[in-house]
Amino acid sequence: MPSSASSFVETAQGAGPDTIPTCPVPALLDKTVARTPDAWALDFMGRRHTYRQLGDLITRAAQGLQTLGVTAGDRVGLCLPNTPYFPIFYFAALKLGAVIVNYNPLYVERELEFQIKDSGTSVMITVDLAMIQGKLAKVAAGAGLRKIVVCPFAAALPPGKSLLFSLFKRGDVGRWRGDALHVGYFELISDRTAPTLPKVDPGDVAVIQYTGGTTGQPKGATLTHANLTANCAQVIHHVGEIETGQRIIGVLPLFHVFALTYVLNYGVAIGAELVLLPRFELATTLKTIRSRKVTNFPAVPTIYSAINNTPAKLRGDLSSLQYCISGGAPLPVEVKAKFEQLTGCTVVEGYGLSETSPVVSTNPLHGPGKAGSVGVLMVGTTVEIRDTEDPQRVLAPGEKGELCIRGPQVMCGYWNRPKETEEVFVDGALRTGDVGYMDADGFLFLVDRKKDLILAGGYNVYPRVIEEAIYQHPAIRDVTVIGVPDKYRGEAPKAFVTLKDGQTATPEEIKTFLAEHLNKIEMPREIEIRDELPRTMIGKLSKKELVAEEAAKRSAAAA
């Protein structure tokens, strides 16, 4: 484990396959606080904190959580948009040896309740926005939540914006005071007594990151402190020499593992200023990049595409950008080329999974990459191409097969799922479910994605979840959901349904029904009502004919 304040970054830059540094995740913060306490750490909508100030708030939050009874191994949920509260409670809980469980604030009640129960989350951190806090309050008793810590959104803003929010957005704030379930943020951090911190081992579980894999049944990938800090070190090694004064814009949600590693862990480790935005809004993002002179811009392809399609007058000067990392979905070659032409900044595509903390490979930041490739492997990472029908058989270089990953960033398993954990490993290598090959130069190429999985704007969307929601409509007989190309999201769900005899329903009526059951990302872009749906010889609903039909429509339209 690195001993000096700067040695983690230095050791990571010089790392080899067997010398990748790891440490407890909070050590990344502690070393930066010790090294550059007065450097800017956070910028949220214009309100800034130094690393010294951030470290103090984290210590106070840790004491508050300890007062609530949080101890090592307890699961603490973060159901937060990108605000200063996310890094504060992320590092505070990890200092106590607790385990972070990330939640998407857009989840509907069904999704929240399942994940709370499955993970055993006992304390949840959220903001006072009614659309988030209200859902948690409804499911708390049935799901087993012991406490909900409520953080005031307005208080995170600069004074002027805070006042405007309080005046004009009062209706957005939930009602939560006066019961035993909720505790306010300022009450929680009021005790300045130093917490009693346990010894945290790098091998301890740090984060449970939920992923549905290929089935749509969410599973928690258990990522240790060593997994996360090793992947942080691998990214540092890949970037190479890092200039001082880096500013990383956090428009990707921190509850997503890509942003958790590349924005939060990596950003804090190198002492960058994290410029956080609560959500992606094109004009605000562009204005922030320009005004704050952002240097690092991790994003998904849909965001780069949106910027490409913005008129030059509105886009403005983005020349401060030095590094753009694309992940979460395949990066179209034309999107990459146009963005580079408009900004002068190289965009490199990477590949990863929740189960790998997440980065497996990335194209070189300095030097030529390869079009269509997801890059070269992170230091200390190996990939085996195995036969998709016989995973015991390792294929020769250049052959196409299932990618199976080994490396210090690979999870230790799925939370409380021994059967699924056993199935996802073969001879100790993680089976990704993705099909690809590696060329003679060590560049990795993907040729097929996990079966049925829809990648919408960088998010995993699972047809089974949508199908189950649609089946709850009383008029529906059968439903099949597939992914179809979408200019903005990359892919979007499309549902094909048949109706029960004597029942009627329009696509618009079905969508209205689904609003209570699906989040916005899961909502089908289109619902097509048919008399019959394709089936296999044994009577199972079949997707391949529908996929072929949609492809034929696109080919005809392009001709």
Predicted pLDDT of residue 3? 38
pLDDT digits (tens, 9 = 90+) for 234-273: 999 999 999 999 999 999 999 999 999 999 999 999 999 9
Distance CA 188, CA 322 (A): 39
Q: What single-letter DSSP state applies at residue 260?
A: I
Average pLDDT over residues 131-160: 96
Give helix 463-471 / helix 507-514 axis angle, nearest 10°: 100
Indicate the residue type of 558.
A
Domains recognised in the chain with CATH numbers:
7-279 (3.40.50.12780), 348-448 (2.30.38.10), 454-558 (3.30.300.30)
Amino acid sitting at position 110: R
Helices 85-95 and 51-67: crossing angle, nearest 10°?
Answer: 60
DSSP string across 322-388: -BEEE-SS---HHHHHHHHHHHS--EEEEEE-GGGSSEEEE--SSS---TT--EEEPTT-EEEEE-S
Average pLDDT, the chain: 93
Helices 282-292, 301-308: crossing angle, 10 deg rounding? 90
This model's pTM is above 0.75: yes
- According to the model, what pLDDT value does residue 536 have? 67
With 70 as the cut, is the pLDDT of residue 194 above it?
yes
Q: Is the pLDDT of residue 354 over 90?
A: yes
Please state, in angstroms and as integers, the Cα–Cα distance from residue 438 to each residue in 169, 245, 277, 375, 445, following that order. Answer: 52, 36, 37, 10, 6
Tens digit of each residue's pLDDT (9 = 90 or more) over 147-176: 999 999 999 999 999 888 887 888 889 888
pLDDT (average), residues 544-557: 89
**Residue 551: left if φ>0, alpha if ψ -120 to 50, beta else—which one?**
alpha
Comparing C-alpha atoms, which of 331, 330, 261, 328 is closest to residue 296?
261
Q: Find all residues with CB under 8 Å of 295, minimum gap 6, and list them.
A: 243, 245, 246, 247, 248, 320, 321, 322, 323
What does the block give as tokens for 324? 């753009």
Retrieve residue 251's tokens: 């428009």
Nearest Cα to Cα of residue 472 among 516, 523, 506: 516
pLDDT band at 382 (very low <50, low <70, confident <90, very high): very high
**pLDDT (mean) for 396-407:** 94
Q: Check residue 217 and give its pLDDT.
A: 75
pLDDT at 339 over 60: yes
At residue 511, φ and ψ (nearest 5 deg) are -65, -40
Q: Which of 279, 45, 265, 21 is nearest to 162 (CA)?
A: 45
Q: What local confidence, expressed as pLDDT, does residue 538 receive?
A: 56
Beta partners for 527? 495
The model's pLDDT over 28-65, given as tens digits with 9 standing for 90+, comes to 999 999 999 999 999 999 999 999 999 999 999 999 99
Residues 6+ apart with CB under 8 A from 23: 1, 2, 8, 202, 225, 229
